[in-house]
């Protein structure tokens, strides 16, 4: 079955710097890759997603890149702000509703 690895497990950056979180997946049939942000005491919230027919997608300060050949995808946050501090999860899906999540990255943005 699908396996998703996520790195790093924790990441500290200075406010205004960029943050990059990387995920790799094992199942070449996966074609949908969402990213979720989970704040303390809340459920995961979708922040951006990418489908396999696209190599990059941007939404303001957030971007995601996908390399299907290497089976990895990354989340990029630019100009980080304290409110970006949270746990971020990547996931992979082959379009059958079943998401396989990574183990999460705790991002701390230092003011």
Query: Which residues contact other proteins (rule: CB under 8 A)?
Result: 4, 6, 32, 34, 36, 41-46, 49, 89, 91, 93, 95, 97-99, 101-104
Min. distance of Cβ 60 from other proteins in angstroms? 19
Q: How far is CA 51 from CA 1, 5, 29, 64, in A?
A: 19, 18, 12, 10
Considering the complex, state which of residue 71 and residue 106 has its C-beta at the smaller distance from other proteins.
106
Which residue, 69 or 96, is less far from other proteins as judged by CB? 96
In the bound complex, what is the minimum distance in angstroms from residue 96's beta carbon to other proteins? 8
Residue 4 · residue 23 · CB < 8 Å? yes
Half-sphere exposure at residue 93, Cβ-oriented, CA atoms within 13 angstroms: 14
Nearer of residues 18 and 26 to other proteins, judged by Cβ: 26
Cα distance between residue 31 and residue 42, in whole Å = 27
């Amino acid at each position: 079955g699908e396996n998703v690895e996520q790195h790093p497990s924790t990441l500290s950056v200075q406010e205004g710097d960029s943050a990059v979180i990387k995920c790799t997946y094992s199942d070449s049939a996966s074609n949908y890759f969402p990213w979720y942000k989970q704040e303390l005491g809340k459920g995961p919230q979708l922040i951006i997603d990418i489908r396999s027919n696209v190599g990059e997608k941007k939404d303001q300060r957030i971007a995601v890149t996908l390399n299907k050949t290497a089976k990895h995808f990354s989340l990029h946050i630019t100009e980080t702000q304290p409110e970006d501090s949270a746990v971020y999860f990547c996931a992979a899906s082959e379009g059958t509703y079943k998401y396989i999540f990574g183990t999460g990255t705790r991002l701390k943005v230092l003011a």
